Structure 1
């Protein structure tokens, strides 16, 4: 089935499995609040293989992202990649940029059939990136790994966090993404969870301006662009009368637009909890005890997140709710209710006179 034809009420486009929360880094924005030690109750290798078998039950070519922490902290990561590939899954990996990510390990995951490697760059220089990641040498190690992926013929994705500390770096990071021959730039707008609670987000009006710039970059660049936890990018693109497409011909996995927490996206934690997103840690159940497929399709939490008419506040009144819907993760993080309005979006629907996300009344 072509990715753009996926019915997201029946299967996620993206299924993320957090193999572990262990990592050598202590990044300022880390959702997982990663630490050096692995959790004793992580899904075992056999439980992980059962999870991948169930993921295959969603349908042909299910996309699975092995995440963390640092997924390569587990010595069975390569075995799990090979197992997923053998089951017909499209396996991708988001390792940390550390000295352990050697060219030999990159060659090994490429030979195992990995479809893409995703690396994070939150600054365009060692000073900026290493300061954000709180680890000297991380920038150089990440860039070296990106070049090793290119040499191995492995499609590369670059992930970047947007917050007050990083936003001025974006134009230079964009150039670096191009220089590294990445196929996709995933631009993540900060959600205040985990360590990210201590970071300052950019103001809503600034977020719209950044997205207007991203639409221009998308028109010009050879790589694709997607925003994470910022579905208002689609509203901004529509208002500029552009598609905001993600160049699926170069994307490598045929990513489509319109993916939000619980609606085309699902996240399995290191201990088996199923969340709509890693940034929306409200469990629908645990895959150790319940069916992954059944939880995604039928749990009340996931069903509510797929219903644009269930949205509240100005998101519920917005004419763009069917193509945007706001970040459910950010709404949850700031209000405790995943159906409330997204405070990053400055747009107020015409005629809306209810409360705004900051508590002030609409004009």
Structure 2
């Protein structure tokens, strides 16, 4: 089996030509009913999912972006597809770096993890949203999910598959973060990916943290990143990079990669692309504005040339605070959250607490206009 030894240098990737991260939502089927689920997942698979052959054609296109393209198979629960191992093997044979985000269910057995490792999976990303079984299982809506996830994490270590832990940040989970950090270390994870809630799917019913609290959490995460044995990255909170730059007073010292070489500062449409279970091409799974379908269009052409993707790669088109912020080219704000709140993916990210000197407009939530 052909397996790329290393990926491309992340600092050399031209994100106008290729995404660093390509996510394919292989299914929306899942046995869990997580409070934050972007996909509104249900137990049954959608009848119009991309077929095995269509999926292989998609992976062929992903290869056309360039050597060592990183592909994340997500869901729903990817294990709901019986052809998952076949797809992993095929992508690996094409020279893609195949990674996986399965759900913590009874289907994620040590034998399954071993099989996926043998098929070529380069990383297993598991979600932990509480530092205890009770906290995690309550958030995930399934008793036993915590124990199954931890079992799978240990199986990944036994199989030699690098482990990533994903955590959702919202009002319900914020106090759990220190305990989750300790668990990430105990499980020998290589990366902690901390996702700040975007109100899409079932996540619309959850309460986000305030901008001020998000700022404190991001500052704390920079401290964690300096001390931990694992890497730290944020999802839908690119102002983590701005916080790190301000903290260290030297942009060259800011964190610039995670354990798989992924650059920070990547946002929806700029270094990131998403293909839905039915083939729609989105800038992100949290920004469901379509630029076409892989059944009708070239994924490579749509990423490089569509008006939607091109606008997201031009921070000078952003409006509000993000449009005048001196950090817009290294941060860019969450385009997904801007879209969820305003319907405009170029609007300002309402979670960011920073107020640029040149900005004269509405203040972030909780801030007085004369601050």
Query: TM-score range, shorter-chain basis?
Result: over 0.9
Residue 106 of structure 2 is aligned to residue 96 of structure 1: no
Q: Could you say which residue in structure 2 is the equivalent of 1:68? A: 75
Q: Which residue of 112, 116, 136 maps to 2:123?
A: 116
How has the CA–CA distance of structure 1 residues 173 and 303 changed in structure 2, closer, same or farther, with 3 Å as cutoff? Answer: same
C-alpha contact 2:211 2:364 (8 A) present in aligned 1: no
How has the CA–CA distance of structure 1 residues 295 and 362 changed in structure 2, closer, same or farther, with 3 Å as cutoff? Answer: farther
- 1:167-219: per-residue Cα shift (whole Å, max 9, x none)? 00000000000000000000000000000000000000000000100000000
Separation of aligned partners in 2, 1:100 and 1:70: 10
Residue 193 of structure 2 is aligned to residue 183 of structure 1: no
> 3-state SS of the aligned residue for 1:260?
coil
Q: Could you say which residue in structure 1 is the equivalent of 2:211? A: 204
> 3-state SS of the aligned residue for 1:285?
coil
Residue 355 of structure 2 is aligned to residue 345 of structure 1: no
Q: Could you say which residue in structure 2 is the equivalent of 1:333? A: 340
Q: Which residue of 19, 38, 41 maps to 2:48?
A: 41
Displacement, 1:360? Answer: 9.0
Alignment of 1:297-312 (within 5 A): 297-312=304-319
> 3-state SS of the aligned residue for 2:181?
helix
Displacement, 1:258? Answer: 1.8
C-alpha contact 2:211 2:365 (8 A) present in aligned 1: no
Q: Could you say which residue in structure 2 is the equivalent of 1:293? A: 300
C-alpha contact 1:28 1:199 (8 A) present in aligned 2: yes
Residue 236 of structure 2 is aligned to residue 224 of structure 1: no
Q: Which runs of 4+ in 1 moved over 2 A?
A: 354-363
Q: How many residues were matched structurally?
A: 360
How has the CA–CA distance of structure 1 residues 182 and 354 changed in structure 2, closer, same or farther, with 3 Å as cutoff? Answer: same
Q: Could you say which residue in structure 2 is the equivalent of 1:245? A: 255
Displacement, 1:255? Answer: 1.4
Q: Could you say which residue in structure 1 is the equivalent of 2:5? A: none
C-alpha contact 2:77 2:101 (8 A) present in aligned 1: yes
Q: Which runs of 5+ in 1 are unaligned?
A: none
- Give RMSD over aligned pairs: 1.3
How has the CA–CA distance of structure 1 residues 83 and 127 changed in structure 2, closer, same or farther, with 3 Å as cutoff? Answer: same
* Between 52-61 and 236-245, the greater mean CA deviation after superposition: 236-245
Residue 136 of structure 2 is aligned to residue 135 of structure 1: no
Separation of aligned partners in 1, 2:168 and 2:366: 26
Q: Could you say which residue in structure 2 is the equivalent of 1:155? A: 162
- 1:234-286: per-residue Cα shift (whole Å, max 9, x none)? 110011016342664xx1x2111221000000000000000000000000000
> 3-state SS of the aligned residue for 2:278?
coil
C-alpha contact 1:126 1:137 (8 A) present in aligned 2: yes
Separation of aligned partners in 1, 2:235 and 2:152: 23
Separation of aligned partners in 2, 1:240 and 1:290: 44
TM-score (norm 2): 0.95
C-alpha contact 1:56 1:62 (8 A) present in aligned 2: yes
Residue 241 of structure 2 is aligned to residue 254 of structure 1: no
C-alpha contact 2:269 2:313 (8 A) present in aligned 1: yes
- 1:28-58: per-residue Cα shift (whole Å, max 9, x none)? 0000000000000000000000000000000
Displacement, 1:4? Answer: 2.0
C-alpha contact 1:313 1:356 (8 A) present in aligned 2: no
> 3-state SS of the aligned residue for 1:227?
strand
Displacement, 1:318? Answer: 0.5
Q: Could you say which residue in structure 2 is the equivalent of 1:278? A: 285
Separation of aligned partners in 2, 1:160 and 1:323: 23
Q: Could you say which residue in structure 1 is the equivalent of 2:3? A: none
- 1:126-172: per-residue Cα shift (whole Å, max 9, x none)? 10000000100000000000000001000000000000000000000
Displacement, 1:311? Answer: 0.2
Separation of aligned partners in 1, 2:69 and 2:265: 17
C-alpha contact 2:238 2:264 (8 A) present in aligned 1: no
Separation of aligned partners in 2, 1:29 and 1:171: 20
